[in-house]
Structure 1
Amino acid sequence: MARRRPEHPPVPYLLNSQPGPLHGRPLAFAHRGADPRRENTMAAFRRAVELGFRYLEIDVRTAACGTLVVFHDETLERATDGVGALSEHTWEQLAALGVGPDREPLVRFEDLLTTWDDVHLNVDLKDAEAVDEFARLVEEHQAHDRVLAASFNDARRHRVARRLTRSVATSGGWLSTALIVLLGPLGLMHWVQERAATVDCVQVPVSQGPIRVVKPAFIRRCHRAGLQVHVWVVDDPARMHRLLDLGVDGLMTDDAEALAEVMAVRSVWPQR
């Protein structure tokens, strides 16, 4: 039986923090669409949404023409049949490339943002240039409650906040998360909390190198500070169950079917 989750401050993006069918339940995130063969493509996203996912974790990078593209790597070789840095190609050039064996097309962030009005996007801003265009599109489509701005670089999160007329959800970058992991056990969580006041959650791996991050004490510290804990990337059902038993607030996976089955057993599913 999963532990009872504490009450978190209500955040519109985090549907488990406010009244509704997901209140107090763990959230399920489809990491890059949760289909590694065709990651960050509309085919992967549609499949995840059809399975019942309401949260899609995505990455965005800026093309040479300024278009915001849903893509993880700095270069094109691993995931597409193109070569070179994505930032050196225009959207017209990128649109001709294919991902995976079926050559699924790349996706513009704006197209994904406007495909569903009830799907939430966990957006990892992969380059500094992405900040302005991301903020512009969120403003244009009034999508503030449907996006979370994430980045390993905390400065990008702060720049996003300065460019928006109202706030969006955010997760901590490397610095703020490292402070919680390293200084929290020393009794300095109050000091850390003051510096992470604009963060709504931490999104972390189970371990970082030799350091075990997701431990009961870490989860308790985050919850006392009003922060949700989302864990990536978890594909093994047994590990999913163990983490949910510890009280984590969300899981990100590359195996959409596995997480859907676990959530169906333990929580509300589908989440759409």
Structure 2
Amino acid sequence: MTHAWFAASPVPRVLAHRGFVSAQSAADGVVENSFAAVAAAHAIGATYVESDCHLTADGEVVLFHDADLHRVTGDPRPIASVRLAELEDLMAERGGLITLRQALESFPTVRFNLDVKADAAAAPAGRLVAAHAQRVLLTSFSDVRRRRALAAAHHEGGEPATSGGRSTIARIVAAVAAHLPGAAHSAWDDVDALQIPERQGRLRLLTPRLLDAAHERGVEVHVWTVDDPAEMARLLDLGVDGIVTDRADAGLDLLDRRGR
């Protein structure tokens, strides 16, 4: 049975990477993963927003990509050492901080794709999404962290969708390349989607064979992070199910022009 996260729109999907920040908004100081960026993605019609989870010093799950504040605010401290109130002050002129709780409650029609970035954030994030599990996909580069978040959600009665971490993706890609899809049977059963770059260094991850194997099992393939509309069109022609992009506006326009 298809998870409700996928039922919100037909394929192909556009996933707004860390929300949406237009050139004008960026000039005004708005940054990724801010309240304003999520609101902007929603305003342009993005059903799916990809974001990231970290935990503050006082235990609040916030949407933030990096482990520290340096790139976004110029402050070198780790997020894990900063309390929520201070983080709100730092983000006030950058589009506003958004916590995971605020995101889920303020945007009830948005489907969130949440990458758990910190071990400490896994269980708290899982507990928070449990009541909203029908519109959340949980993932992490770490399969251990991903499963910890899923277990916390399950304990609270929620069943989010999920996509594989590095080790799961590696097993699946290797099995498909070796023409041994059965060798990764348990890995396929563990995911609803594969979210991958087209290439990892010199290794091509996205292949027609991988797409066919995924689709045979009802697993979607989403490619990140693609901002060129011509590249988006090429990938959609290959049969990918979703594009993760900083240019959600361009992606949505492309889908409209193609008539989905």
| TM-score w.r.t. length of structure 1 | 0.87
**Residue equivalent to 2:128:** 137
1:112 and 2:98 correspond: no
2:34, 2:95 within 8 Å by CA — same for their partners in 1? yes
Give the match's secondary structure for 2:189: coil
Displacement of 1:196 after TM fit? Answer: 3.3
* Counterpart selection for 1:196 from 182, 188, 196: 188
**Residue equivalent to 1:233:** 225
Between 1 and 2, higher relative CO (CA 8 Å, sep ≥ 6) is seen in: 1
Displacement of 1:83 after TM fit? Answer: 2.6
> After the TM superposition, which of the residue ranges 125-134 and 29-38 deviates more from structure 2?
29-38
**Residue equivalent to 2:253:** 261
**Residue equivalent to 1:150:** 139
Give distance in 1, aligned partners of 2:188 and 2:77: 37
Summarize the alignment of residues 58-207 of structure 1 with structure 2, pairs less than 5 Å apart.
Answer: 58-98=51-91, 102-139=93-130, 142-163=131-152, 164=154, 165-207=157-199
Give the match's secondary structure for 1:13: helix
Share of identical aligned residues, percent?
Answer: 35
2:132, 2:158 within 8 Å by CA — same for their partners in 1? no
Give distance in 2, aligned partners of 1:191 and 1:215: 18
**Residue equivalent to 1:3:** none
Structure 1 segments (4+ residues) deviating >6 Å: none
Displacement of 1:166 after TM fit? Answer: 3.4
Matched to 1:107, the amino acid is I
**Residue equivalent to 1:32:** 18
C-alpha distance after superposition, 1:13-37 (max 9, x if no partner): 1126xxxxx34x2111000013284
1:81, 1:98 within 8 Å by CA — same for their partners in 2? no
Displacement of 1:159 after TM fit? Answer: 1.6
Displacement of 1:244 after TM fit? Answer: 0.5
Give distance in 1, aligned partners of 2:160 and 2:72: 30
Give distance in 2, aligned partners of 1:48 and 1:166: 25
Matched to 2:255, the amino acid is M
Displacement of 1:193 after TM fit? Answer: 2.3
Give the match's secondary structure for 2:168: helix
Displacement of 1:123 after TM fit? Answer: 0.3
1:206, 1:213 within 8 Å by CA — same for their partners in 2? yes
Give distance in 2, aligned partners of 1:10 and 1:88: 39
Q: What 5-or-longer segments of structure 1 have no aligned partner? A: 1-8, 17-21
More helix by share: 2
> After the TM superposition, which of the residue ranges 209-218 and 52-61 deviates more from structure 2?
209-218
Give the match's secondary structure for 2:174: helix
**Residue equivalent to 1:251:** 243
Give distance in 2, aligned partners of 1:267 and 1:13: 21
Give the match's secondary structure for 1:114: helix
Displacement of 1:161 after TM fit? Answer: 2.8
Displacement of 1:214 after TM fit? Answer: 1.4
Displacement of 1:75 after TM fit? Answer: 1.0
Displacement of 1:104 after TM fit? Answer: 2.2
Q: Give the alignment's Cα RMSD to 1 decimal.
A: 1.6
2:17, 2:49 within 8 Å by CA — same for their partners in 1? yes
Matched to 2:251, the amino acid is L
Count of aligned pairs between the two proteins: 250
Give the match's secondary structure for 2:243: strand
1:13, 1:120 within 8 Å by CA — same for their partners in 2? yes
Q: What 5-or-longer segments of structure 2 have no aligned partner? A: none
Give distance in 1, aligned partners of 2:95 and 2:107: 19
**Residue equivalent to 2:39:** 46
